[in-house]
């Protein structure tokens, strides 16, 4: 009577530590250019060594430029981060997927794509969206920089076992409704705090029917639910998706691994601290209107009116509407948009780009629109180019970039300018996240692509 989370957690408990925390073994440690330099510096300062450099991978994603023809010095401020990531990886014997590597990309995109993360494994990463790998049944654990140093030095994390929550996604999805819409709806429905302190398992017919990459989108935004980890039980489609990928187990190991993954499910009699169910059958595509991921409405919906909202919520709603320069009660469709960004660890895998390209094919972005596609990894980029997707985007007037985080968080300086309104396939719409004064609407790649063509937020079902 164990949950999927119990099974993975229990299999990785090394033992209790003196202070009562549990030491959890980390199978894979994937670090990146934003946190690796300070972590390497701390290691050096304390004279410690890396316990398992062979299980550690460093990648450059947050700080790299994503413009065509980029080099490590395209963004002057990024150059020292990239250089210190490189020199530190060399010094400590860690594999580096640098700017020239065909395997470079956003940490949460490449971890599953290269089969660094595997079902039933623990994967630590110093980024809040480590939970993305839950889509293949890996337990992704997000850390801060001090914890990076801890994992480097000990190959463990000292944690308290989180509480557990199951969200059963019931019903079936209408054809235009994607994994992104489902998770936005869930966050909008229950709030950005509801999974605080919990590991979340998504179950039910909708989760099971999602393709592997959609499950990653779903798990990615567990962070925006406040959760510590997200999981979908891996099934045969996951093994098929992983087979033959760069770091995947080979030979007899592969057979044994696939066999072991069959035990990765929640027992029928397992009990969760919270067990919730939500009907997805009547869902329409979703979009955020405000400055919290829970500020979500359907594309046919209207922006809330603070005057008719419960008194306790009015101040927050007013602040959000004010920042987003929206009229209370106005329809969200028709709001003019300056930029569109298709990218990030939420929605920049091959299937996301295919979905966006299907909307864009043969059409052109609206006059004055600045639309960008940044593939989640160099591999995704190559695969997309093999399919000719880049040409569809370029012909339509989109920019086609190199892989990286880019304007998801804008830490490399790629961000919008004040007053710009962006429809973005990323995961956070906090005030200023994509640049000071930038207004962000989160949506699926399809909805973002449709906005680029129309020049405004648009219910693409009405357009087609």
Binders in 29-48 for ligand SF4, by CB under 6 A: none
Picking from 179, 233, 223, 183, the residue whose alpha carbon sits closest to that of residue 203 is 233
What part of residues 55-84 is at the interface with ligand SF4 (CB under 6 A)? 62
Rule CB under 8 A: say whether 21 interacts with another protein. Answer: yes
Rounded Cα–Cα distance for residues 34 and 442 (Å): 24
Give the HSE-up count for residue 185: Cα atoms under 13 Å, Cβ half-sphere: 24
Which strands form 22-25's sheet, in the order they lie side by side? 13-16, 22-25, 156-159
Q: x/- site string to ligand SF4, residues 146 to 165, per CB under 6 A?
A: --------------------
For another protein, the binding residue among 4, 34, 345, 374 (CB under 8 A) is 34
Helix axis angle for 350-360 and 445-454, nearest 10°, is 30
Rule CB under 6 A: say whether 409 interacts with ligand SF4. Answer: yes
Rounded Cα–Cα distance for residues 443 and 439 (Å): 13
C-alpha gyration radius of the chain: 21
Give the nearest distance from C-beta 343 to another protein in angstroms.
16
Give the nearest distance from C-beta 344 to ligand SF4 in angstroms.
4
CB nearer to another protein: pick between 58 and 457: 58
Rule CB under 8 A: say whether 409 interacts with another protein. Answer: yes
Instruction: Provide the residue count of the chain.
Output: 464
Give the nearest distance from C-beta 457 to ligand SF4 in angstroms.
22
Please identify, among the stretches 50-58, 168-176, 274-282, 404-412, the one whose residues bind ligand SF4 according to the rule CB under 6 A: 404-412
Longest Cα separation, the chain: 65
Rule CB under 6 A: say whether 427 interacts with ligand SF4. Answer: yes
Q: x/- site string to another protein, residues 320 to 359, per CB under 8 A?
A: ----------------------------------------
Rounded Cα–Cα distance for residues 205 and 203 (Å): 7
Query: How do beta strands 339-342 and 370-373 pair?
Result: parallel
What part of residues 253-312 is at the interface with another protein (CB under 8 A)? 253-254, 256-257, 260, 292
Q: Which two tokens stand for residue 444?
A: 């699926």
107 binds, among another protein, ligand SF4, none (CB under 5 to 8 A by kind): ligand SF4
Burial of 425 (0-12, 13-18, 19+ CB in 10 A): buried
Binding site for ligand SF4 (CB under 6 A): 62, 106-108, 127, 129, 344-345, 405, 408-409, 426-427
């Amino acid at each position: 009577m164990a949950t999927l989370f119990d099974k993975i957690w229990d299999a990785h408990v090394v033992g209790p530590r003196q202070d009562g925390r549990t030491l959890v073994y980390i199978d894979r440690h994937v670090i990146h250019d934003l946190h690796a330099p300070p972590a390497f510096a701390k290691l050096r300062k304390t004279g410690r060594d890396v316990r398992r450099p062979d299980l550690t991978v460093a990648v450059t994603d947050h700080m790299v430029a994503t413009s065509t023809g980029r080099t490590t010095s395209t963004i002057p401020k990024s150059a020292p981060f990239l250089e210190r990531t490189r020199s530190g990886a060399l010094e400590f014997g860690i594999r580096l997927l640098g700017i020239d590597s065909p395997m470079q990309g956003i940490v949460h995109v490449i971890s599953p794509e290269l089969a660094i993360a595997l079902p039933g494994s623990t994967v630590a990463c110093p980024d809040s969206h480590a939970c993305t790998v839950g889509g293949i049944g890996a337990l992704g654990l997000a850390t801060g920089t001090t914890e990076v140093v801890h994992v480097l030095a000990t190959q463990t994390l000292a944690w308290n076992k989180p509480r557990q929550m199951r969200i059963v996604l019931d019903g079936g999805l209408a054809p235009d409704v994607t994994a992104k819409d489902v998770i936005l709806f869930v966050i909008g429905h229950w709030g950005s705090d509801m999974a605080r302190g919990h590991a979340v398992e998504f179950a039910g017919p909708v989760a099971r029917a999602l393709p592997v990459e959609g499950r990653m989108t779903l798990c990615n935004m567990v962070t925006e639910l406040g959760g510590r980890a997200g999981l979908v039980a891996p099934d045969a489609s996951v093994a098929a998706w992983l087979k033959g990928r760069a770091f995947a187990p080979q030979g007899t190991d592969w057979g044994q691994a696939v066999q072991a993954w069959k035990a990765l499910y929640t027992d029928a009699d397992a009990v969760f601290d919270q067990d919730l169910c939500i009907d997805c059958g009547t869902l329409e595509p979703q979009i955020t209107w405000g400055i919290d991921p829970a500020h979500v409405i359907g594309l046919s919906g209207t922006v809330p009116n603070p005057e008719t909202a419960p008194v306790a919520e009015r101040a927050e709603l007013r602040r959000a509407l004010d920042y987003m320069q929206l009229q209370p009660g106005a329809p969200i469709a028709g709001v003019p948009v300056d930029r569109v960004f298709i990218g990030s660890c939420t929605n920049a895998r091959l299937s996301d780009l295919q979905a966006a390209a299907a909307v864009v094919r043969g059409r052109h972005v609206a006059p004055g629109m600045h639309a960008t596609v940044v593939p989640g990894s160099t591999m995704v980029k190559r695969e997309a180019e093999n399919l000719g997707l880049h040409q569809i985007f370029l012909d339509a007037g989109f920019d086609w970039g190199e892989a990286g985080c880019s304007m998801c968080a804008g830490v490399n300086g790629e961000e919008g300018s004040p007053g710009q309104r962006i429809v973005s396939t990323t995961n956070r719409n906090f005030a200023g996240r994509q640049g000071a004064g930038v207004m962000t609407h989160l949506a699926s790649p399809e909805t973002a692509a449709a906005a680029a063509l129309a020049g405004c937020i648009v219910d693409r079902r009405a357009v087609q």
